[in-house]
Every structure is written in C-alpha cells, then in structure tokens.
Amino acid sequence: MFRIAWQWDQLRNMKLGGNESATKYFQTHGGSAALASKDMKIKYTSNAATKYKEELSRRSALDAQRYGHSNDTGKGDTDPAQIP
C-alpha cells in the first residue's frame, strides 16, 4: 500500500489554494499572460506566482492561528496522515 505523509502546512495550502484561487489571483494581479503560458517555468516563476505564494503563506498563517492543527473533530492535534 502506498501511503503519503502530508504535513499540516501542505494540507492547509491545499485547503486555501488550488487552481481556482490561483487563477483569480493571477487575473486580478496582472498575471494573465503568465497564466496563459504553456511554459511552466514562466507560469510558476512569474511575478504574479511569487506574489500568490506570499499571499497563500499569509492566508495559511492566519488559518493556523485561527484553527491550529486540528482535523475539525474537536479532538485537537492529530497526525494529518491519519485523517481519512
């Protein structure tokens, strides 16, 4: 069986980020050309991508302050790899 051990910051970034969030950010922050590029290096190293990563880190920090490392069951800290 293949098992992935996710870290809390990775799970939080997936919760708060994603394609829809990134697309909206790129479109509203001058990154439409990078978003449309077929060159992954351009897309992921563009100014909009760098700013989005910073914004996602800011959102993640706020989410961590608000919710901590909880699996939303009210049982406190849990190993994220154990969440079904």
pTM to 2 decimal places: 0.72
**Residue 19: strand, helix, or coil:** helix
Residues 6+ apart with CB under 8 A from 18: none
- Predicted local distance difference test score (pLDDT) of residue 70: 57
CB 63 within 8 A of CB 55: no
- Per-residue pLDDT band at 40 (split at 50, 70, 90): very high
For all residues of the chain together, what is the average pLDDT? 83
- Residue 53: other Cβ atoms inside 10 A: 14
Residues 49-82: tens digit of each pLDDT: 999 999 999 999 999 989 887 554 444 444 444 4
Whole-number Å distance between alpha carbons of 65 and 39:
36
CB 43 within 8 A of CB 26: no
